């Protein structure tokens, strides 16, 4: 079975690569409180369809490069965007 994670795209600065932040809830037994831990994965995006703010599912695959072991399987929710009517520029 392959590892699947759901996370948010935080960077698309590289070609065919996105950085995805995955949140994980763990219990801090010292204070009996649930805390959120984050881990950042690099994932292969061959179609370059992801934008910053998208919620995506990443799937474990063969090693693509030194840091990339995951590929984007699907975009679950696209980021909210709006177009400025005066300039025509798209904002996130």
Tens-place pLDDT, residues 17-64:
999 999 999 999 999 999 999 999 999 999 999 999 999 999 999 999
What's the Cα-to-Cα distance from 18 to each of 14, 64, 78, rounded to whole Å?
Answer: 7, 13, 14
Distances from the Cα of 34 to the Cα of 6, 26, 30, angstroms = 19, 6, 11
Report the pLDDT value the prediction gives residue 47, as an integer from 0 to 100.
93
Radius of gyration of the chain (CA): 16
Q: What is the pTM of this model?
A: 0.84
pLDDT score for 82: 80
């Amino acid at each position: 079975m392959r590892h699947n994670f759901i996370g948010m795209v935080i960077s698309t600065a590289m070609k065919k690569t996105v950085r995805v932040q995955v949140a994980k809830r763990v219990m801090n037994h010292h204070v009996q409180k649930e805390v959120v831990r984050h881990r950042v994965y690099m994932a292969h995006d061959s179609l370059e369809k992801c934008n910053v703010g998208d919620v995506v599912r990443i799937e474990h695959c063969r090693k693509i490069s030194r840091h990339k072991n995951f590929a984007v399987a699907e975009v679950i929710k696209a980021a909210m965007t709006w177009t400025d009517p005066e300039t025509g520029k798209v904002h996130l």
